[in-house]
Structure 1
Amino acid sequence: MLRLAFLALALTLPAAAFAQCGGSFADFKAGLKAEAVNMGIPAASADAFLSGVRQDPAVLRADQAQGVFQKPFIEFSRQLISSQRLNKGLQLAQQYDSTFDAIEATYGVDRTVLLAFWAFETDYGAFQGDFNTANALATLAHDCRRPDLFRPQVLAAMRLHSDGEFDPRTTTGAWAGEIGMVQMLPLDIIENGVDADGNGHIELKTSPVDALTSGGKMLQSLGWQPDQPWLQQVSVPTTMDWSQSGLDTVKPAADWQALGVTARSGALADLPASLILPQGHKGPAFLTYPNFSVYFEWNQSFTYVLTAAYFATRLGGADIYDAGNPDAGLDTAQMKQLQQTLRDRGYDVGKIDGILGAGTRSAVKAEQKRLGLPADAWPTPALLNQL
């Protein structure tokens, strides 16, 4: 049986314990063993896990080459969403109807949300990744950029191994250590893994029932609220104060309606909402509701999150979004130039990576307001030239 107490123990260890990284990989593994034994993992089990673990340079290359998230929403969503993927999702919704009924009754997570993750993470289980998971996690934990994220995941994998739920030699998955059809990290499996098919094991790679149910439990644990929407396509008047857009502005849906925001289909939900314009005021527009924030606990990329949330609405019968006619955006080199320019002006844009993240959007909006431009947080070549 999985020991849920391990999660609480791992999260209460001193931060300094998670900061051990770099240096000799042999010394790094020795430190992992000592920490694992301190958590109650048998020394023999820790040795068996670590004996074959090695660094994988391909993992670091993959980590540093996430260019797909540099694509704007329209291009990214059209790349990921096809009629074939949509139809496959609808077919699987029927095939696993009883499983989704149970998930919705127990955890309150709509089937379309899980289907969208299943589609985007592994193409409904077809491509789950072929990186050795133990090696991937150890490599990322040893690398000193995010040891606080990955060191606990290595220790969680060691716990799973000790409990007979993880083989460090044969378990494979994504380069970042996620496992199974909906791609869950070891700590998530310890906390939220469910043996839904009742065979005595949590099999996220081979059992859709286990994988989907575990994903549903995980989303509930992250704060998903049952029977609430997450995203809705809207139309926005051209007289809108665009500076009110963005996830940092939250208003009752009735207030947005009073400003002229209307649903493209149905009615606005009676919930707090934010207006997002992923490619500026001339492109598509959406209202996001509280459940939308849960997506960011799964993935930090705004473009990925919006696309996954939108695809879930499409699986539920929503219309294709109106792409509008957005102004041209920046290529990767221009985006990096913009980020450096904004940093030089004192803005915190995070890493200079060519990705339009929250920090860059906030800085762009501030500069647009200063220059008297529509403050919609969408950077254009014209803005870059003015700066």
Structure 2
Amino acid sequence: MRAISCLAALLLPVSALAQEQACGGAFPDFVAGLKQEAVSQGHDPAQVEAFLAGVRQDPAVIEADRSQGIFQTPFIDFSRRLISQDRLDRGRALGQQWSGVFDRIQSDYGIAPGVLLAFWAFETDYGSFQGDFNTLNALVTLSHDCRRPELFRPQIFAALELYERGDFDPRTTTGAWAGEIGQVQMLPRDILENGVDGDGDGHVTLKTSAPDALMSGAKMLADLGWRYGEPWLQEVTLPEGMDWSLTGLETTMTVAEWERLGVSARNGALDDGRLEASILVPQGRGGPAFIAYPNFRVYFEWNQSFVYVTTAAYFATRLEGAPVYDAGTPQPGLSGPQMIRLQEALARRGYDVGEIDGILGSGTRSAVRDMQAQLGLPADGWPTPELLSLL
């Protein structure tokens, strides 16, 4: 199951009432607070009662939220697990089947077909499994939970608006454990703001309409900052004597500057020399290397997992015709428990690694790179048993 698909910064502010009743307490009292807030926002009381009638907590949602261990998997293993020849073949076939929709997406938003096809594949296996969690129960459960109520509570009121439009059934609408709906998995507020009636039937139906789902996903990416017609990721070859401390999303240079340092495309040529870009080595100096263009950062507005984002962006390039990356011979990494020990050690030294969860995210990579430099190790951001031992 993937990480949350949008950032709290993209949501409406939580009201004063919601701040008081943001999470916890008896569940019936929490639901009563939701009803009161919905009515205060101008929703019809009868509609609110009908919408929230029978809502319940779902313990399986909390269990799923606490167990996202798949994101502890290193990039090479993760990408090989998600990208198969069958997924490539089906993606290319669907690209042909819905070529008219993808032509509209390229014309309207400047987004290549592979980008949406990759999300479609990873989120729901091209629509074949969209999740069977009751969406309203999931959203209310996560809002009542005190881990991230500010992220989920606004989604309840967005779902209420969809219900009032006739595009959400609180009893039968299902999706992912985190409340995402449809073939490319969008949260209710994203559907309100970016839903597109791609098939012209007067409704935005992301579960059953591929044109609606793909056009809505494209509009959402555009609204998140996708730059029209620009690339997102490309495999590169790095020079001997590379300064590894320059790798990572924290460092950007123009493509022309990277070329002067000896960075070259593994296949073809690098893009516009004026574009700002970063060099990524997801498994350190011994593994594959990529140049990440500005559009790569938009992926993090969809999903916050570094390994997921890099894999989705890479798969999009494969669907556009890029060859399999050169896996190289990366150094052994850390197990989940070892990564937690590393994060704890870094946090004690004052680094902000985010949640200590055993996941090698951007914050942990940045801290590792800085620590490696201090210890005289190649600062490639890839944590090894040697680094853990030194710490």
Q: TM-score, normalised on structure 2? A: 0.95
| Equivalent position of 1:4 in the other structure | none
Q: Which runs of 5+ in 2 are unaligned?
A: 1-9
**Percent identity between the aligned chains?**
64
| Equivalent position of 1:183 in the other structure | 185
| Equivalent position of 2:346 in the other structure | 342
| Equivalent position of 1:99 in the other structure | 101
| Equivalent position of 2:58 in the other structure | 56
Letter in 2 for 1:346: G
Q: Deviations over 1:15-35 (max 9, x none)?
A: 954861110111111111111
Q: Distance in 1 between matches of 2:337 and 2:142?
A: 27
Does the 8 Å CA contact 1:235/1:285 hold for their aligned counterparts? yes
Superposition pairs for residues 17-56 of structure 1, below 5 Å?
A: 17=19, 20-56=22-58
| Equivalent position of 2:370 in the other structure | 366
Superposition pairs for residues 90-239 of structure 1, below 5 Å?
A: 90-239=92-241
Q: Deviations over 1:6-61 (max 9, x none)?
A: xx994484595486111011111111111111222211111011111100000000
Query: For structure 1, which segment, 364-373 or 82-91, has the greater mean C-alpha deviation from structure 2 after superposition?
Result: 364-373
1:102 shift after superposition: 1.1
Q: Distance in 2 between matches of 1:212 and 1:178?
A: 15
1:238 shift after superposition: 2.5
Q: Distance in 1 between matches of 2:356 and 2:301?
A: 23
Letter in 1 for 2:217: G
Q: Deviations over 1:304-352 (max 9, x none)?
A: 0000000000000001100110000000111111111111222221222
2:383 maps to which of 362, 371, 379: 379
Q: Distance in 2 between matches of 1:118 and 1:235?
A: 29
Q: Distance in 1 between matches of 2:31 and 2:15?
A: 18
Letter in 2 for 1:119: A
Higher relative contact order (Cα pairs below 8 Å, separated by 6+ residues): 2
Note if 1:333 corresponds to 2:337: yes
Note if 1:289 corresponds to 2:293: yes
Note if 1:322 corresponds to 2:326: yes
Give the SS at the match of 1:287. strand
| Equivalent position of 1:3 in the other structure | none
Letter in 2 for 1:109: I
Does the 8 Å CA contact 2:21/2:30 hold for their aligned counterparts? no
| Equivalent position of 1:5 in the other structure | none
Q: Distance in 2 between matches of 1:18 and 1:233?
A: 49
| Equivalent position of 2:89 in the other structure | 87
Give the SS at the match of 1:232. strand
Q: Distance in 2 between matches of 1:167 and 1:79?
A: 34
Q: TM-score, normalised on structure 1? A: 0.96
Q: Deviations over 1:265-286 (max 9, x none)?
A: 1211121100011000111000
Letter in 2 for 1:281: R
Note if 1:272 corresponds to 2:239: no
Q: Distance in 2 between matches of 1:273 and 1:10?
A: 31
Q: Distance in 1 between matches of 2:258 and 2:283?
A: 19
Letter in 1 for 2:315: F
Does the 8 Å CA contact 2:231/2:293 hold for their aligned counterparts? yes
Q: Distance in 1 between matches of 2:75 and 2:193?
A: 32
Pair 24,382 (structure 1): closer, same or farther in 2 beyond 3 Å: same
Give the SS at the match of 1:150. helix
Letter in 2 for 1:57: P
Q: Distance in 1 between matches of 2:338 and 2:80?
A: 23
Does the 8 Å CA contact 2:136/2:156 hold for their aligned counterparts? yes
Query: For structure 1, which segment, 13-22 or 126-135, has the greater mean C-alpha deviation from structure 2 after superposition?
Result: 13-22
Query: For structure 1, which segment, 8-17 or 232-241, has the greater mean C-alpha deviation from structure 2 after superposition?
Result: 8-17
2:265 maps to which of 253, 263, 268: 263
Give the SS at the match of 1:275. strand
Q: Which runs of 5+ in 1 are unaligned?
A: 1-7
1:259 shift after superposition: 0.6
Query: For structure 1, which segment, 339-348 or 148-157, has the greater mean C-alpha deviation from structure 2 after superposition?
Result: 339-348
Pair 152,9 (structure 1): closer, same or farther in 2 beyond 3 Å: closer
Q: Distance in 1 between matches of 2:289 and 2:71?
A: 20
1:360 shift after superposition: 1.1
Tell me the matched-pair count: 380
Q: Distance in 2 between matches of 1:92 and 1:309?
A: 18
| Equivalent position of 2:357 in the other structure | 353
Q: Distance in 2 between matches of 1:31 and 1:323?
A: 53
Does the 8 Å CA contact 1:246/1:275 hold for their aligned counterparts? yes
Letter in 2 for 1:326: P
Q: Distance in 1 between matches of 2:16 and 2:316?
A: 39
Q: Distance in 2 between matches of 1:206 and 1:169?
A: 17
Q: Distance in 1 between matches of 2:126 and 2:278?
A: 30
Query: For structure 1, which segment, 15-24 or 288-297, has the greater mean C-alpha deviation from structure 2 after superposition?
Result: 15-24
CA RMSD between the two structures: 1.4
Letter in 2 for 1:211: A
Does the 8 Å CA contact 2:333/2:384 hold for their aligned counterparts? yes
Give the SS at the match of 1:291. helix
1:227 shift after superposition: 1.0
Q: Distance in 2 between matches of 1:345 and 1:194?
A: 48
